[in-house]
Structure 1
Amino acid sequence: MNTFTPQQTEASQNLSQSLAVIAGAGTGKTSVLVSRMLNIVEEYKSLEILLAITFTEKAALEMKERLKKSLPPQLALHVETAHIGTFHAFCLKTLKQFGHLIHLSPNAMQVLAEEAVFFLTQKIIKETFKQLILQKNKHAHFLAEKIGIKASTSLLTELLQNRWHAQTHLSKLKPDEEQYEVLHAAHQVFLLCEHELDVYYSTHACIDFQGLELKTLELFEQRPEVPQYFQNKMKHILVDEFQDTNDVQNLLIKHLYQPKKNKLFIVGDPRQSIYRFRGANVHCFTEMLHLIENTGGKSIVLQENFRSKKGILDFVNHCSQTLEDSLEKENVLQDKNTRGLKSHSQLEYDDDVLLLHYPVAEKETVDQKRTHEAYAMANYILSLVQKKQYLYSDIALLFQASTKTYLYQKIFKEHGVPFLANNISQDISENTAFHDILSLLKFAHDREDETALVALLRSPFIGLSDENIFSLSLQAPLKKSAFQNEKANEILSSITLLSKHCSASELLHALFFRTGYKIFSEIISNNGLGVSPLNTLISLISTFEKNHRASIKDCILFLEQNKERKKKNNSLDPYKKNAVHIMTVHSSKGLEYPVVILPELFRAPQAHTLSWCFSRQKGIAVKTKKSKNPLSPLEGNTAFTQLCDFEKEALQEESLRLLYVALTRAKQKLVFLVADESKTRKGSIWLPLIQKALLEVKSSVFKPNEENERELIFSEPEIQTFTRSNVEGKIHSQSHKKQTLSISQLETYVRCPQEYYLKYILKLPGTVLFAKKASHLPADIKGSIIHATLENLNTRDKKEIYTLLEKQCYAHHLLPSQNILFELHSTLTPFLNHPYFEQITEGKKEFSFIWDIDSAYLRGKVDWVKPLGDALEIVDFKTDRIESGTCAEHAKHYHLQMMCYALAIEEVSKQKVNQVSLFYFNTGELISTSLTEQMKQSTKTELRNIVDKINSFTYSCQGLSLPCESASCTCPYHINKLCSHDRSKKGNHDLSNTLRSSPAS
């Protein structure tokens, strides 16, 4: 943006008045804010007279960077110490400077993390409430009698999380109110719990974020000279994203603002207030705007959008009419001409707003519908990228919540669509290991928890099939019959015994050692989406235990609450990889993308199920027992119903604001996914609004038919008749810890123990430092692309093959030029012309396994397992550059690998493998070997010998015939002169002989 609009100019240059700026999405809010700050600094020649408050630390850092670049050097030096930061940073600094005035030690300022505060709050409530019951405290007894212990503790948790609002409402109770007695009892117990929390903070010299604000407010109210100090010093106060402030922050600004002494500048957009769950009150903006206008200031509306195309803005304006009506009603928008967003560019548009239909069958579940959506999206995204219209990184999927994004990620993974889940998929609570461990801990805590028992029996800790579990349940109650299974009895008995003496982390480590679960989890990641977060999870539990002396029950509570709280997403930095962005709308705040896709339009808000209702604006109401019978149900009165209705309406309004934020992230294309079905899911807020707007605004509709179905919708893959055995990937219980070795590791050891030592023990890089230049693709990249393409290849059609290759190039972060695509297609051609290609759809490709050979676990992946009469054949594809006529000799190098594959597949599939074959793309030759039982037994003996040597740390090469003695050696350690075998031949000591006795080496 080179020049400002008249409204932007006034907002940045009018320093004589306080201003409230209503800045619509994409209207250059940040530029205006920084420009105003620069004008202030230019006028006063100082940064000391300025206080700028941002919503996030990231925003504060960006603001400082902009100022540094624009200010003269002598002023830029002072930016880091300027009063620019978040509310919490301002409060912390203020309390350290003036906290002694309210007897607050400056050392008592260790700010606790939100998760720690949440758990601490609940622990204090439960312990305090328990003690009050034991001491026969009348208020605690009355509260428990009227609403129950569980409802009491959850209500008190909510009140302590909103201490200022709770005290404000509860202190105004009147004896004639219908629920006075029960709310008065809640108030008294709340005060006792709050006292215990304050004692903990005082004893441990710490504070939470809520406490920072409340103590600062207390300081301002009790010692008016402190806000007067700031009023005199800060000539200009600027607050960004004011629509996201809470009531206490609003009061703090009122204390700092004195119209006769300083100027206040707030900027934000009430239509983008989406943090109500964190305490934000959209009405704070309206209240402060009117205060500014009533004290000589004015409001300015920024409407001109510099981000989105006209068609998108037309659509946004239709969808946001309810929000605009609300702002006009509250006198925020005082002129009808200031409603909505206006396009900076008046260019004609084409397909700015797109409706993408996808088929669903009758009576499908919501998750099945999500799967259909994911296929449709994957296909559409691939078509955009393949047509060179957009990069993957230009595209963002914005979800209302993160709970089901893993379903979409799985489909994207299958179809080669690269994605970044922006901390969603990385969330440990979405991982299988999280649920396995939670089930184990729940059973350890409560042996009567049958749900936890079933989950534990099915988990890799024990590994029973559903059929086994069902069979056990027929014999007797499962909590008894499970112990009749030998394997289950061993693990369950261990858990029962250990849980009496061990902490949660100690119990888990013991079970990992006994079952091999940790090895399993590190190899098999959830949905194939990356490295298992097991270590992160164990570290989290261990740290939590250490800091809070937590029991197993405490850890269960902590994990469950951590999972729930992770659903609330923090703002995230956009990644700079060429991959589709998958995130929540909350995470996308402040970001923009050329293409925005909105899935899950059918999502409906959750119904209120609690027996109490708390509203920061209106107060508290509860359901109570109408009789003294402890089994009588809880019933709500009129006040409860009205308060629930108010909160429901407030949440619906926030959902509309969330939609506004989602729509305004799009720059060039806005895509909606809608199922071809007659019914709209009841309760959906977004879908009816979007469908209505689509009828009124120019948009395009994609609906699959027989001709274009391949182009628009991915057909879901058929299930192969060759299925993986239920023992695949399962690690059997062992009483000792075993290594997990890949087939590649075994091959490396057989080729050269010294190379194995350098690569896998010392973990030295295997990059050739003085490699010759090559005009073709790197062998490892080419091999990876070819193998990934073969996994989905079922046609000889050149155009479709090019599409598959292009997709894999992007997945490997490689720009698919015509030369690269030609080289890759040329590599595939010999196989396309080979008779084996006719069977390409048979069997299973990219088959992963883990095989227990007693002394170790072997893992690997077979390129192709195909039927061969009544038996199986293993086919491995080789992209090695081999001269014609030498393949048979070269194939001998892979004898161990192929035999291992054969034995492993026999073990996990329970079918004979009669033949192994190597296909060389370079020559088009197929080298096949028929297998005999003698060959298999010989290989098993050889494997045991190799593993025994590895386990005994034998890495010496003395007396062996090695590849490095050949002029054609390609070992990177030999080429880079890192191999100690080369040095030992010159008389130097063999380092590995010295170290081999110590595994720590």
Structure 2
Amino acid sequence: MKLTEEQRQAVQAAGSVAVTAGAGTGKTELLSQRYLWHLQQASESVSPLEIVVLTFTEKAAAELRSRIRKAVGNKWPDRSDWLAEVEAAQISTFHSLCARICREHPAAAGQPADFTILDDLAGKLWQQTVLTAAMQELDPSCFDVMDYSEWRPLLETLLDDPVRSQALLAVESEQWREVLAQAQRDRLQQIQQSSDWQAAIEDLSGASWREADALSDQIQQILAWSDTLFDPANSNWQATYDEFIKLKLTQAGSAKNWGSADTAKLLRTQCKVLRDRLRDEESLLSLRPNEADDWNRDQRSRIYEAFETVLKSIDARKRQDRCLDFNDLERGAVRALESEAVRSHYQQRWRYCFVDEFQDTNPTQSQILQALWDPQHLILTLVGDEKQSIYGFRGAATQVFRNWQQQIQQHQGHIVTLSQSFRTHQTLLETINQVFEPVLDPYQPLRSDRQPPHPLPPIQQLVIEPEEKDSLEQARIQEATAIAQQIQTWIQQPLLVWDKPSNQHRPIAYGDIAILCRRRAPLETVYGEVLNQAGIPVLVNGGGSLLETPVGYDLQALLEFLVYPSNDLALATLLRSPAFGLSDAQLYQRAQQGKGWWSHRQERPDPAFAAAIKILEGLLRSRFFESPLRLVQQFDRATGYSAVLASLPQAQRLLADWQALLTFLREQPQAHDLELLLRYWKQLQQAEVVLPRPVLKAGNAVTLMTLHGSKGSEWPVVIIPDLTAKPRSQAETVLFDTELGVALRQPYVKEQAAAYQFFKYRKQQAEDAETRRLLYVGFTRARDLLLLTSPKSAEARSPLDLLAPGLEQAAIQPLDPNSGTEIAVTATLPTADAPLFWQSTAAIAPQYSELSVSAFADYFRCPALFHFRYTQGHPGAIDGEGAGTSDRPPQLGLLVHRALELDLRQPEALKPYCAAEDQDLIPQALQLASCFATEPVYSAVREQAQQREVTLHLELSSGLVLKGRADLVGADWVLDFKTDQQPQPENYQLQLWAYAAALNRPQAAIAWLRHNQLDWIEIEFIPDQAERAAVQLAQGDFDPQPGLCCQYCSYRSICEATSKN
């Protein structure tokens, strides 16, 4: 790819550089080329090990490493040393960098040397557990201010980012007063200089009348107030403001006295304009300190003391359990880098540092980078775009990027802005620039050389005007219906779009369209349903939690019923689910009997319930000797649950969520005890833990996604609906301000503290600014055409309201579908000689974008095995022959792994992780675990081990993402523990290769604990086979591969290939 002049300036910049990379401007290519430039300029004197590349997700880090690996290999194919060093280089997330600092300098970090890392899920659950105990140490007087139900969410919020929280609580408590006074003066100045104010004052100042009347008196009063209000020397301006906004407008003013009726009317209107303009700013300009602020000041110190008490208690428990969450890693890194010796160590090790998506950096991460940066020895490349900063709720702050730009300039660095877009055509970009120039500040316009594929307006707006009696939900249904009609029109005409692979125009397909919404709820319940009914294939993608999906609720109901059969709500949920499909009318009739449904199931038996009762009774009998996973699989087979899902709208989404939930169950330590599993499930819900839904490839279907989830993606046509939805508001007990600290809401008072009201005002301003940036992200996902839709509304602070100045400047006129006017579609098809590049509208084939390593290993071993286990959810026909080669291998293996992970030596310590029916396995599990701790054959790996239970992520070239956890990791190897009766290393080659590749380790080994045997596994030839297998999986190839493993397969009695073999 040939670099633009702007890209070349950034790539070849001498010294540090901060790059503002607008949407679609080729920032990833810039990063890889800048990396090559450093290697080329330094030649033999630099190593990839001296270059750090940081980003914010494991997936992004893997993509960057892949691009850099490919770029280095293409430019220097003979530099095998550099290629090897790229694999070992620090190309990672910030959290991985922090973990490295904490492991290499545990004493300086104040952390144990052998800590384990709690991922998001485990960390939230662990914190929920220990917070209850920590709160018992609070001074009882704390609860005079707030009750337990208010203290707990407050402390949870503070613990989400302890470094920031400590800094905010330490802010000078009265600093907000000066900031408020300055903000009010600034706003008054903006009002005075605004065009509408100036025009009104000019009209009133030039007015003349024959005789004084009520209108002339009002005009003179307003002009006097205006002079007083904007006088910088007037310290009592708020008294004038209060009088001004309370002004009762007169209706006086005769035509005879004022020259004409129109003149009098104009002057009355201008009086109203001035008063209303001030009223619009009442939430800021009316604020003044009051008695509640004294109370606020006193309570802030109490919160600080309470937080320190709880934090100290939790830190002590973490040291005892030798575990850290992601926040602890950042805190430990900050603490370690306070040591001059530690800073010097890394400043000598690293010469170049890249940070991608820098607009997502939080203040703590900025502090870490600040400690690492020595301008004389470390060259920075920071790439981001303030206009795409949309993660304020995660702590990201736009001010961080601005501060770093200033620092880099002060040290003779460079500031470069990329403005050439390779995504969007010129006409659409010009319109986007017009919309956001008055909306975002600062705003850097983008440009493009590509011409549009049609003469249509590039941004179109569709407004639905519902009936007065219609609810918001009904208005959304009308809006969704209009969207469906428009999509069908585009497909039938057809609309032309730009095809990037072929570099030419082609007719649109369903897969070229995305509907991006700010909130997830209406995507599935409204837009997806309406489009499905219209025969349009859709796929809901990106974001959301498995626990909050339809299949998640069904699975929870099944677990609830199996543990508590008397739970009528769980039973009703099951009966009306796709498993049984009973109607609400049938359930209502049953409910009228007024008795417990299950306990009285045999009274007046209803044929409609008979089949369900029989199946559920069988499951209840099996619950005493089957694992929860087996029970769920038996439920699926008995009811045809997943088969029904396959016939429903959005089948691909439902089936993917169902399979992901089965995988989740399979991987949980509690998966062998129903009650423990249900308790764990509810703990996840209470902690609001998000279990990510698998990402799917849309194929030829319209993608439905949140605006946040769409970042990094693009489509020819984008639709942004629901633009008049109001933001949710709530009276928060505590408000945090990144500059001013903390303010509390005082209970049972009429007027809240000015500090609290000012913080609330600033929070709303920040949220509105982020909503504007979020809309910018949505607009810039479109390559060819953008459609905005909404019910007609004038809600303040809605997305449409925030965009109003820009839409007006761009002269975007809303189209009313009720008027009979349709959005025109113009298409000129390619000539007969030109190929058509469009996708078939055939049914969507099942696809997997993410799999556990063990699941993919099953596919690698036998696609039919994978199909039975993961696609169909078949529990397997365990009949003795196919039961495997060890006694209850999953249970025993889980216990052994837990004993090794937590260094458990006593039976009592292992019991909490073991179901009641498996207690007899504890002695055997401890004996196998002790083998690794004591046998000489393992001494070398024991001594060289650096990490245990490392979460990993590997993306294959096909796009398939593999996830798993490596048991033990050394400097150049990974190791997995096995408890098999007979060592069969060929069954685990893919698994070990995936672990090694994901963690950039060249060697892999298996410790066979039953045999005191350590095998180093050959993995060199696996990558090509794995890539081929991933392609076959994407194509839906589930043909069996008969072999020796068939004799141990639990599906042998139902597999045709086995019988033929």
**Which TM-score band (shorter chain)?**
0.5 to 0.7
Q: Within 2, Cα distance between the matches of 1:548 and 1:618? A: 50
Match of 1:390 among 502, 508, 519: 508
Tell me, yes or no, if structure 1 residue 341 matches structure 2 residue 446.
yes
Please list the CA deviations of residues 104-154 of structure 1 after superposition, one character each: whole Å capped at 9, or x if unmatched. Answer: 44431x33221222222222212433xx1xxxx562x33334322122111
Q: Which amino acid aligns with 1:163?
A: P
For residues 554-579 of structure 1, what are the alpha-carbon distances to aligned partners after superposition, in whole Å with 9 as ceiling and x for unaligned?
Answer: 4354353576746xx89x97837333
Q: Shift of residue 274 of structure 1?
A: 0.7
CA distance, structure 2, for counterparts of residue 993 and residue 145 of structure 1: 68
1:211 pairs, out of 309, 317, 328, with: 328
1:97–1:243 distance in 2 versus 1, CA, 3 Å: same
Picking from 290, 295, 301, the partner of 2:406 is 290
Q: Pick one of 776, 799, 803 that aligns with 1:660.
A: 776
Task: Classify 1:431/1:102 alpha carbon distance in 2 versus 1 (closer, same or farther; 3 Å).
Answer: closer
> 2: CA distance between counterparts of 1:485 and 1:515?
27
Aligned to 1:401: 519
Alignment match, 1:613: 735
Counterpart mapping for 1:189-208 below 5 A: 189-208=306-325
Compared with structure 1, are the counterparts of its residues 575 and 153 closer, same or farther at alpha carbon in structure 2 (3 Å cutoff)? same
Change in 2 beyond 3 A, CA 1:362/1:480: farther
Look up the match of 1:43. Answer: 41
CA contact (8 A) 1:289 1:299 kept: yes
Partner residue, 2:18: 20
1:257 maps onto 2:373 in alignment: yes
Tell me: CA distance 1:167–1:654, structure 2 relative to 1, closer, same or farther (3 Å).
Answer: same
* Cα shift at 1:91: 1.9
Q: How far apart are 1:812 and its partner, in Å? A: 3.4
Instruction: Please state if 1:125 is matched with 2:131.
Output: yes
Question: How much does 1:235 deviate?
Answer: 2.5
Offset, 1:253: 0.9
The C-alpha deviation readout for 1:632-674, integer Å capped at 9, x for no partner, is x999533333222222221111111101111111111111123
Cα 1:662–1:180 change in 2 (3 A) is same
Partner of 1:85: 92
- Please say if residues 24 and 341 of structure 1, whose CA atoms lie closer than 8 Å, have aligned partners that are also in contact: yes
Query: Aligned partner of 2:94: which letter?
Result: F
Contact 2:13 2:414 in 1 (8 A): no
Q: 1:389 offset after TM fit, Å?
A: 2.3
Query: Which residue in 2 is equivalent to 1:149?
Result: 148
In the TM superposition, residue 10 of structure 1 has moved relative to its aligned partner by 1.8
1:605/1:446 CA distance change after superposition, 3 Å: farther
Aligned to 1:413: 532
Q: Say if 1:420 and 1:580, in contact at 8 Å, map to a contact too.
A: yes
Find the aligned partners of 2:662 and 2:557 in 1 and give their Cα distance: 14
CA distance in 1, matches of 2:752, 2:155: 18
Q: Distance in 2 between matches of 1:310 and 1:31?
A: 21
Q: Distance in 1 between matches of 2:457 and 2:322?
A: 59
Distance 1:196 1:479 in 2: 47
CA contact (8 A) 1:383 1:711 kept: no
**Which amino acid is the alignment partner of residue 392 of structure 1?**
Y
Residues 685, 994 of structure 1: CA spacing in aligned structure 2 closer, same or farther, 3 A cutoff?
Answer: closer
Q: Which structure 2 residues correspond to residues 695-844 of structure 1 after superposition, within 5 A?
A: 695-697=808-810, 703-704=816-817, 810-812=841-843
Residues 1:558 and 2:679 aligned together = no
Equivalent position to 2:716, from 594, 603, 626? 594
SS in 1 for 2:788: strand
Task: Give the secondary structure class of the aligned counterpart of 2:417.
Answer: strand
Cα deviation per residue 1:748-783 (whole Å; 9 max; x = unaligned)? Answer: xxxxxxxxxxxxxxxxxxxxxxxxxxxxxxxxxxxx
Give the match's secondary structure for 1:672: strand
3-state DSSP class of the match of 1:420?
strand
Quote how far apart the aligned CAs of 1:593 are: 1.9
Alpha-carbon separation, structure 2, partners of 1:98 and 1:294: 32
Counterpart for residue 66 of structure 1: 67
Provide closer, same or farther for how the CA distance between residues 459 and 53 of structure 1 changes in structure 2, counting only shifts above 3 A.
closer
Using a 3 Å threshold, how does the CA distance of structure 1 residues 324 and 524 change in structure 2: closer, same or farther?
closer
**AA at the equivalent of 1:422:** N
**Aligned-pair identity (%):** 26
Q: Secondary structure at the match of 1:299?
A: strand
Partner secondary structure for residue 304 of structure 1: coil
CA distance in 2, matches of 1:622, 1:44: 55
The two structures have a TM-score, normalised by structure 1, of 0.60
The answer on whether the counterparts of 2:343 and 2:372 sit within 8 Å (CA) in structure 1 is: yes
Taking a change above 3 Å as real, the CA distance of residues 443 and 467 of structure 1, as seen in their structure-2 partners, is same
- Deviation, 1:38, is 1.5
Shift in alpha-carbon separation, 1:656–1:468, aligned structure 2, 3 A: same
Letter in 2 for 1:558: Q
SS at match of 1:363: coil
The residue type equivalent to 1:251 in the other structure is Q
Distance 1:992 1:184, change over 3 A: closer
Q: Give the total of aligned pairs.
A: 700
- Counterparts in 2 of 1:112 and 1:224: CA distance versus 1, 3 Å: same
- Secondary structure at 1:811 match in 2: coil
**What corresponds to 1:582 in structure 2?**
704
**Structure-2 change in CA distance of 1:512 and 1:296 (3 Å):** closer
After superposition, residues 438-587 of structure 1 pair within 5 angstroms as 438=556, 466=584, 519-520=640-641, 523-524=644-645, 527=649, 529-530=651-652, 531-532=654-655, 533-534=657-658, 536-537=660-661, 540=664, 546=670, 554-555=679-680, 557-561=682-686, 565=690, 575=697, 577-587=699-709
Separation in 2, partners of 1:188, 1:505:
50
CA change 1:487–1:659 in 2 (3 A) is: farther
Q: Which amino acid aligns with 2:420?
A: E
1:616 Cα deviation after fit = 4.3
**1:52 matched residue in structure 2:** 53
Aligned-pair CA distance for 1:284: 0.7
Counterpart contact for 2:510–2:537, Cα < 8 Å: yes
- Name the TM-score, length of structure 2 as normaliser: 0.57
Deviation at 1:683, TM superposition (A): 4.2
SS at match of 1:287: helix
RMSD of the alignment, in Å?
Answer: 4.9
- TM-aligned CA deviation for residue 189 of structure 1: 4.0
TM-fit CA distance, 1:72: 0.6
Whether the 8 Å contact between 1:312 and 1:353 is mirrored in structure 2 is yes
| Helix, strand or coil at the partner of 1:107 | coil
Contact in 1 for aligned 2:168/2:741 (Cα 8 Å): yes
Task: Give me the whole-angstrom Cα distance separating, in 2, the residues matched to 1:90 and 1:173.
Answer: 32
Kindly state the Cα deviation for residue 269 of structure 1 after the two structures are TM-superposed. 1.0
Q: 1:32 matched to which residue of 2?
A: 30
Q: 433-442 or 544-553: which moved more?
A: 544-553
Structure 1 residues 593 and 546: CA distance shift in structure 2, 3 A: same
Counterpart check, 1:236 vs 2:240 = no
Cα gap change, 1:233/1:159 in structure 2, threshold over 3 Å: closer, same or farther? Answer: same
Give me the whole-angstrom Cα distance separating, in 2, the residues matched to 1:321 and 1:994: 65
Shift of 1:243: 0.8
8 Å contact from structure 2 (residues 440, 772) kept in 1? no
Cα distance in 1 for partners of 2:27, 2:410 equals 24
In the alignment, which residue of structure 1 is the partner of 2:389? Answer: 273
Structure 2 counterpart of 1:111, from 113, 117, 128: 117
Match of 2:4 in 1: 4
Task: Note closer, same or farther for the CA distance 1:545–1:482 as it changes in structure 2 (3 Å cut).
Answer: farther
Q: CA deviation at 1:86?
A: 1.8
Q: Distance in 2 between matches of 1:977 and 1:118?
A: 41
CA drift at 1:42: 0.5
Label 1:539 to 1:591 Cα distance change in 2 as closer, same or farther (>3 A). Answer: closer
Question: Are the counterparts in 1 of residues 518 and 706 from structure 2 also a CA contact under 8 Å?
Answer: yes
Shift of 1:601: 1.4
1:810, CA displacement in angstroms?
0.9
